């Protein structure tokens, strides 16, 4: 049963009198409505993947190239095998989804694999290996590194997707980095493993207080900020940090984190327990939040470290920020890029 929109009976977003006592109104896909005294929105972020364009905007030609693009995680060894076997695939992204897809592709014969990341090295994706508190995740990075070292997977670092053009049944992806340097990869398919964004549009008629950077609640944002936190250092939190001005509406799970990539399912379970206790009137249990999180994989380094790796400031990486500022207008800026 898919929910397409949420409001309050008799109350659009602007109407205050009697609001807290009015039931929620939930529209159902295909018709029909539900009424509820509270809403726990655990609808995730999977349906709104992040774009391939490295600056957060779609790359030029990204929409037209959609038939060549799969988002995480295609069933490479199962239903989608025919799309990948014997072909050249470009995998873009630096998280566990990219790693999972790359390892599956490596099992296919006669299949070329290029892996493109924005960072200057793949250390963050390789993660903690045997030291990872989630051993299965640690093993992903260790196996991936072996394929890169052996040449089975070609790694393109500092890859900032700028444009995608189709030609003769293939796509050519151009990277244009902060320094203006270009790289290009021509492939049969692209896997965009670039993460996800929250979609708050179903709750657009409710009164939400969203952090302007992450899209979580404002109270939660400093606790999960990837500039400060890895997955393992997020403090316990619950109903108080998840509350919006709209009483009775809570986004939980990965959607509650907005664009912060620091979510672990253990956190979500504690969120739901806390919110459910509050809705049942047991505020003591609701506020007794506890969490013991593992240090794991990609999350063992935070966003600040990732940014350093991206611009080449981390130990052992040459280069860095361009000495000369980039021109703000380029020759193709007027008419878009690349046809």
Ligand X SMILES: NC(=O)c1ccc[n+]([C@@H]2O[C@H](COP(=O)([O-])OP(=O)(O)OC[C@H]3O[C@@H](n4cnc5c(N)ncnc54)[C@H](OP(=O)(O)O)[C@@H]3O)[C@@H](O)[C@H]2O)c1
Ligand Y SMILES: Cc1cc2nc3c(=O)[nH]c(=O)nc-3n(C[C@H](O)[C@H](O)[C@H](O)COP(=O)(O)OP(=O)(O)OC[C@H]3O[C@@H](n4cnc5c(N)ncnc54)[C@H](O)[C@@H]3O)c2cc1C
Cβ-closest residue to ligand X? 95
- Residue 289 CB neighbour total at 10 angstroms: 19
Least separation in angstroms between residue 21's CB and ligand X is 38
Least separation in angstroms between residue 69's CB and ligand X is 12
Least separation in angstroms between residue 119's CB and ligand X is 5
Extract the tokens encoding 177: 């980095």
Query: Which contiguous run of DSSP H or E holds residue 28?
Result: strand 24-28
Instruction: Please list, in sequence order, all residues whose beta carbon lies within 8 angstroms of the beta carbon of residue 156, skipping any fewer than 6 positions away.
Output: 114, 115, 116, 117, 175, 183, 185
Cβ closest to ligand Y, residue 171 vs residue 221 = 221
Total interface residues for ligand X by CB under 6 A: 26
- By a kind-dependent CB cut-off of 5 to 8 A, residue 301 interacts, out of ligand X, ligand Y, none, with none
Which member of 42, 208, 219, 313 binds ligand Y (CB under 6 A)? Answer: 42
Q: Which of residues 132-191 bind ligand Y (CB under 6 A)?
A: 134
Which stretch, 41-49, 75-83, 146-154, 311-319, contacts ligand Y (CB under 6 A)?
A: 41-49
CA 230 vs. chain centroid, Å, equals 15
54 binds ligand X (CB under 6 A): yes
**Which residue shows structure tokens 């929409």?**
63
Extract the tokens encoding 226: 């990837």
125 binds ligand Y (CB under 6 A): no
Helix (H, G, I), strand (E, B) or coil at 83: helix
Tell the burial category of 240 from Cβ atoms under 10 Å away from its Cβ (0-12, 13-18, 19+). Answer: middle
- By a kind-dependent CB cut-off of 5 to 8 A, residue 139 interacts, out of ligand X, ligand Y, none, with none
How many residues belong to the chain? 339
Q: Which of 292, 290, 315, 295 is nearest to 305 (CA)?
A: 315
269 binds ligand Y (CB under 6 A): no
216 binds ligand X (CB under 6 A): no
Helix (H, G, I), strand (E, B) or coil at 266: helix
Query: Which contiguous run of DSSP H or E holds residue 183?
Result: strand 182-187
By rule CB under 6 A, what string of x and - marks binding of each residue 148-177 to ligand X? -------------x----------------
Extract the tokens encoding 321: 């920020």
Instruction: Please list, in sequence order, all residues whose beta carbon lies within 8 angstroms of the beta carbon of residue 161, skipping any fewer than 6 positions away.
Output: 52, 53, 54, 59, 92, 116, 173, 174, 175
- By a kind-dependent CB cut-off of 5 to 8 A, residue 46 interacts, out of ligand X, ligand Y, none, with ligand Y
- By a kind-dependent CB cut-off of 5 to 8 A, residue 161 interacts, out of ligand Y, ligand X, none, with ligand X
263 binds ligand Y (CB under 6 A): yes
Extract the tokens encoding 118: 């924005």
**Residue 127: left if φ>0, alpha if ψ -120 to 50, beta else—which one?**
left
**Residue 303: left if φ>0, alpha if ψ -120 to 50, beta else—which one?**
alpha
Least separation in angstroms between residue 16's CB and ligand Y is 27
Q: Which of residues 274-313 bind ligand X (CB under 6 A)?
A: 298, 306
Cβ closest to ligand X, residue 195 vs residue 238 = 195
Least separation in angstroms between residue 182's CB and ligand Y is 32
The footprint of ligand Y (CB under 6 A) covers 2-3, 42-44, 46, 73, 100, 134, 202, 253-255, 263-265, 268
The footprint of ligand X (CB under 6 A) covers 50, 52-54, 72, 92-98, 100, 117-119, 137, 140, 161, 193-195, 261, 263, 298, 306
């Amino acid at each position: 049963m898919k929910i397409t929109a949420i409001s309050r009976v008799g109350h659009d977003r602007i109407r205050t009198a009697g609001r807290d006592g009015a039931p929620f109104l939930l529209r159902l896909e295909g018709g029909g409505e539900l009424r509820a005294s509270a809403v726990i929105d655990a609808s995730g972020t999977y349906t709104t993947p992040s774009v391939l364009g490295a600056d957060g905007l779609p790359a030029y030609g990204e929409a037209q190239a959609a038939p060549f693009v799969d988002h995480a995680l295609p069933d490479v060894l199962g239903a989608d095998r025919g799309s990948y076997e014997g072909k050249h695939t470009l995998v873009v992204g630096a998280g566990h989804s990219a790693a999972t897809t790359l390892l599956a592709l490596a099992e296919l014969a006669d299949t070329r694999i290029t892996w493109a990341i924005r960072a200057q090295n793949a250390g963050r994706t390789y993660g903690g290996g045997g030291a990872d508190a989630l051993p299965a995740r640690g093993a992903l990075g260790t196996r991936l590194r072996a394929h890169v070292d052996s040449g089975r997977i070609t790694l393109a670092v500092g890859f900032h997707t700028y444009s995608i053009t189709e030609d003769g049944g293939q796509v050519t992806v151009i990277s244009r980095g902060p320094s203006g340097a270009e790289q290009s990869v021509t492939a049969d398919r692209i896997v965009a493993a670039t993460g996800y964004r929250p979609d708050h549009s179903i709750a657009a008629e409710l009164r939400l207080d969203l952090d302007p950077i992450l899209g979580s609640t404002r109270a939660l944002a400093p606790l999960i900020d990837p500039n400060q936190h890895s997955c393992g250092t997020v403090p316990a939190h619950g109903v108080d940090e998840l509350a919006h001005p709209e009483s009775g509406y809570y986004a939980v799970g990965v959607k509650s984190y907005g664009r912060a990539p620091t979510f672990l399912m253990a956190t979500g379970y504690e969120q739901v327990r806390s919110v459910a206790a509050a809705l049942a009137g047991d505020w003591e249990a609701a506020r007794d939040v506890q969490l013991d999180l593992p240090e794991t994989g990609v999350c063992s380094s935070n966003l600040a470290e990732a940014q350093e790796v991206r611009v080449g400031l981390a130990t052992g990486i040459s280069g860095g920020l361009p000495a000369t500022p980039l021109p703000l207008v380029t020759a193709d800026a007027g008419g878009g890029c690349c046809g």
